Structure 1
Amino acid sequence: MKINVLQIFAMLGLVVTSGCIAQKGISNKKPNLIIIHTDEHNFRTLSCYQKILSEEQAFVWGKGNNSTTPNIDKLANEGAICTSYYASSPVCTPSRASLVTGLYPQATGAPKNGLHISEDIPTFATILRDQGYATSYVGKWHLAGHAKYTFNIKYKAGFEDNRYMMRGGHAPYFHITADGIKGINEKMAAKFPKEEVEHLTDYFTDKTLEILERDKTKPFAIMLSIPDPHTPDYAKPPYNTMYKDMDVQAPKTMATEYTAIKPSWAKGDKKDKNEGKEFNKIALRQYFGMVSHIDDSVGRILDFLEENNLSENTIVVFTSDHGDMFFEHNRRNKGVPYEASSRIPFVIRYPDKIKAKKVINTAYTNVDFAPTILSIMDIKSNANFHGLDTSDDFLNSKKNITSDRITYFAKSGGWWVSAVNNRYKLVLDKKEKPYLFDLEVDPDELVNFYNHKDYEGIAKKMHTELFSQMKKYDEPGLKNKQAYIIK
């Protein structure tokens, strides 16, 4: 058969065209999703947040005293960082339930620690699974009871590979033998052969990388939930000595002149173990070490994506379930509406669609996560979410997003509720007068502006919108007839 010059050019054109179509097909593949989720993580300990905070707020434990997180910073530099992202309730179980369902805790079956998430409501994982994604979960779950260091969770919530989904627990090490896995502290770990002991952060990161290697040729969605930097505040070597010479200082809000006038919702009850402890420099240095360990684990995952040409089409999210007060306002841990407890880190990278160095100041809660991430992934669903689809904030061409959207979060069980936008926070409690904080003027949350004449309009607006949303989402605290009365 003879082929003339015109036929040859036509064939070459077909090849080129086919190549372009194939290339376009690659860029239009379903995006992958990796969520790296930590526990009890103070947002200030990420250096990407330190860079956008005032010096005083970035270094509440003394000038220059904080951890550094170059790998998490890389996500923020190449994607978006949210400055006003809050937990639906600053406690483990209810916050986690909201993240995966897009619902407020009262609608998830798990509004308090130790409860089981309802099996009859969709999660972002069930939706992605039904769209053909390989879905996996690795690490602390805390939505299937109080048991610690146990696996084999029957209800998968859409995470089809849940072999490494752990009910709960914060021991730093696993003792791994043919008889199973046990959580142990560092003293016990020293007594066992090294090959039988592995740190939880390393163990769960290793398992995540194994799953990524297995699923890298198909659309995947995986959530890695690292139990650190939650107490007991122990970092494994060499992270345990990384900050040993840092002269950390007690935050100024720990001083008596401030703590003596705290509202009742900030004090806890007489049994509250997080109230009124002496400042612990060693624990804080260890906390910084745990954060650096987590950051290195993030780096391992980013390296894998780069080595396998997956970076451009993989969405990587870094966030947490709640914060840690770490002696601000003379408190430890979480459960209060102060920023260090309720505000959580949230950074997201998606090179294919999200502009680098984007800063989003609009207020969100993690109730917004499920509808937003599904929309970013162009996944349609008929699920009824409480949260809003805020995907346009992430996907539009603007580098800075600010709006005065008001959203709310609450103490699990309806003890207090808080409305928040990008600047103001209103806290209502049945035992206390209303508190209005101006986070721009008073980032330490020491001054109540509620009855100040210059704030009358914003106080009314926040109060009205809070009640509207509480009614809309059936917030339990609204049922208490004595709750939230303006005084």
Structure 2
Amino acid sequence: MENLILKCLKFVVIKSMSQMRYLIFVFVSFFCLKLNAQKKVNSNQDKPNLIIIHTDEHNFRTLSCYQELLSEEQAFVWGKGNNSKTPNIDKIAHQGAISTSYYCASPVCTPSRASLVTGLYPQATGAPKNGLHIREDIPTFATILRDEGYATSYVGKWHLAGHEKYTFGIKYKAGFEDNRYMMRGGHAPYFHIKNDKIKGINEKAAAKLPENEIIHLTDYFTDKTLEILERVKKKPFALMLSIPDPHTPDYAKPPYNTMYDLMDVKAPKTMAAEYTAIKPTWAVGTENTNEAVGRQAFNKKALQQYFGMVSHIDDSVGRILKFLDENNLTDNTIIIFTADHGDMFFEHNRRNKGVPYEASARIPFVIRYPNKIKSGKVINTAYTNVDFVPTILSLMGVETDAKFHGLDTSNDFLNDKKEINSDRITYFAKSGGWWVSAVNDRYKLVIDKKEKPYLFDLEKDPDELINYYYDKNYKDIAKKMQDELFRQLKTFDEPGLKLNRPYITE
């Protein structure tokens, strides 16, 4: 009997130990799975988010963070104190970095946008002129980030899928998986939205419609941006918001339309006849016949409206910054403000873009990444937006086998220096290859098919009025710029080289 009892007790103990081991095994397995899941969540959280706010036809001088770095004469080319203020965009610059010599690959909408998303010069993107479609067989920063697990979205003007205006449903997403609000093109100030149909309209048509049926494009696209961010905020995201303003027709919605009415803006110095009577052929412009035939009247009201549009954009930037703060996303989100090209706004008696002058080809570029970019950094090295993709991917720690024309300049942003200077030479060109321009942080060389070469010293002559190319004191500089320009034109197969030879020989 005692043996039987001992056997029973032994069985129970063994059974209990077996169950205990089983329970421990289950517990440990569950803990490991949970730990791995948590590591994955933490890994996702460690990935930096990306927001690009991109405007159209935006003069860099209208951002007060640039005004702070310019001479008074250059900051206020439209009269002393006459310019817009942008406290929210300034916040990005002050808490991050500002690039003072950032240029578009070509000062026209489509080619510049194609270069920004691909890291290639326009001739390699399939879209070197307005209205063309971006190639579907080349990577973009969005395709690369999508494959890295990012939620990728695009909101606003695309202009890389034909000439249609105010239409959506673009089939090729270029890596932006949420492209519901990717609009082919158009610059009407308002949308009329009724029965799920959207139509672009001007301010006169909008005034005749019920308020609940109209919305300004800047507000519409900012609203959609915030909706998407709310949905994806718990995962790594990359979003590009492309606001169609401050492009013509130069209309600001209330109250921005009267914000600068009391500002007595003046015609810029370089609009005067003494500076525009004789100018190079590349400066005449061909966007429309009015620009090609000669002088035009200074339009004070248009400039005041332009300033109003810029202030509207800045307030929209503020809404996005507020969202990041409220959702504890600020430190790990890279936010960038830039544009596709500039706007001359009467400098050199010009409107709009398409010329190598600073106001046309130089674009704003400010970036904030609190986790890694030192606040208050100023970068004077010359870049083009061809450099954007390799640089942003490197900043985000993303490796890729894709090949780019642009350089990875991330170290300029990540190092501990407060100011970055170098004499790096890069280039940009007119869509179609009729002129090309080499730039560094001080000099600009413009070579045209039908014109003598021009060399500008942007430090001594920021108005770009004096040609130093034939000045013996600039001989070495001219040769250095020219040699490097032709080297890059060959490297990147610039179409202009296949046309009639430029005035200058190599």
- Above 0.5 in TM-score? yes
Deviation at 1:268, TM superposition (A): 2.5
Q: Per-residue deviation at 1:260?
A: 1.1
Structure 2: which amino acid aligns with 1:410?
A: A
Alpha-carbon deviations, 1:5-28, whole Å to 9, x = none? xxxxxxxxxxxxx9xx98x95797
Matched, 1:349 2:368: yes
Return the alpha-carbon distance in structure 2 between the equivalents of residues 68 and 412 of structure 1.
32
Indicate if the aligned counterparts of 2:444 and 2:455 stay in contact, CA closer than 8 A. Answer: yes
Residue 403 of structure 1 aligns to a residue whose secondary structure is coil
Counterpart CA distance in 1 for 2:159 and 2:213 is 25
User: For the Cα contact (< 8 Å) 1:90–1:323, is it kept in 2?
Assistant: yes
AA matched with 2:333: T
Deviations 1:299-336 (A, max 9, x none): 00000000000000000000000000000000000000
Deviation per residue, 1:101-150 (Å, 9 max, x gap) = 00000000000000000000000000000000000000000000000000
- 1:438 to 2:451 alignment: no
Q: Please state how far the C-alpha of 1:486 moved relative to its aligned partner.
A: 4.5
Taking structure 1 as the reference length, the TM-score comes to 0.94
1:413-453 CA distance string (max 9 Å, x none): 10100000000000000100000000000000000000101
- For residue 477 of structure 1, what is the aligned residue in structure 2? 496
Q: Check 1:351–1:344 CA distance in 2 against 1; reply closer, same or farther (3 A cut).
A: same
- Of the candidates 261, 264, 271, which is equivalent to residue 281 of structure 2? 264
- Mapped to 2, the partners of 1:270 and 1:65 lie a distance apart of 27
In structure 2, runs of 5+ residues without a counterpart are 1-34
2:169 partner letter: N
Name which of 62, 73, 88 aligns with 1:45: 62
Match of 2:316 among 271, 294, 297: 297
> How far 1:272 sits from its partner (Å)?
3.3
User: How far does residue 480 in structure 1 lie from its aligned partner after superposition?
Assistant: 1.7
Give the match for residue 109 of structure 1: 126
Q: Contact (CA 8 Å) 2:50, 2:239: kept in 1 or not?
A: yes
| Aligned 8 A contact 1:274 1:333 in 2 | no
CA contact (8 A) 2:45 2:236 kept: no
Structure 2: distance between partners of 1:270 and 1:154: 30
Within 5 A, what are the aligned runs for 1:311-460?
311-460=330-479
Write the distance in 2 (CA, Å) between the matches of 1:82 and 1:201: 25
Cα distance in 1 for residues equivalent to 2:44 and 2:63:
32
Between Structure 1 and Structure 2, which shows a larger proportion of helix residues?
2
Gap change, CA 1:239 and 1:219, over 3 Å in 2: same
Partner deviation per Cα, 1:370-411 (whole Å, 9 max, x = no partner): 000000000001111000000000001100000000000000
Paired with 1:144 and 1:35, the residues of 2 have a C-alpha distance of: 20
CA contact 2:118–2:404 (8 Å) conserved in 1: yes
CA contact (8 A) 2:334 2:368 kept: yes
Which residue of 1 is the match for residue 112 of structure 2?
Answer: 95
Question: 1:481 deviation in Å?
Answer: 3.5
What is the CA deviation profile of residues 217-269 of structure 1, one whole-angstrom value per residue up to 9, with x for unaligned ones? 00000000000000000000000000001000000000000001211100125
Q: Trace 1:266-285 onto structure 2 (pairs within 5 A).
A: 266-269=283-286, 272-275=289-292, 276-285=295-304
Contact 2:189 2:200 in 1 (8 A): yes
150, 156, 159: which one pairs with 2:173? 156
- Correspondence for 2:29: none
Letter in 2 for 1:49: Y
Counterpart of 2:223 in structure 1 is 206
* Residues 45 and 66 in structure 1, CA contact (< 8 A), matched pair in contact too: yes
Report the identity percentage.
79
Alpha-carbon offset, residue 482 of structure 1: 2.5
Which of 207, 232, 244 is residue 215 of structure 1 equivalent to?
Answer: 232
The correspondence for 1:63, drawn from 80, 92, 95, is 80
1:289 CA drift (Å): 0.1
Residue 183 of structure 2 is aligned to residue 183 of structure 1: no
Give the letter for the 1:339 counterpart.
Answer: E
Distance between the aligned counterparts of 2:247 and 2:197, measured in 1?
Answer: 24
- The structure number with the bigger radius of gyration is 2
- Aligned amino acid, residue 502 of structure 2: A
Kindly tell me the number of residue pairs found equivalent between the two proteins. Answer: 468
User: Are 2:318 and 1:308 equivalent residues in the alignment?
Assistant: no
1:79·1:356 contact (CA, 8 Å) conserved in 2?
Answer: yes
Could you say what secondary structure the match of 2:46 adopts? Answer: coil
Amino acid at match of 2:277: A
How much is the aligned-residue C-alpha RMSD, in angstroms? 1.6
SS of structure 2 residue aligned to 1:66: coil
| Partner Cα distance (1:269, 1:477) in 2 | 18
Deviations 1:52-77 (A, max 9, x none): 00000000000000000000000000
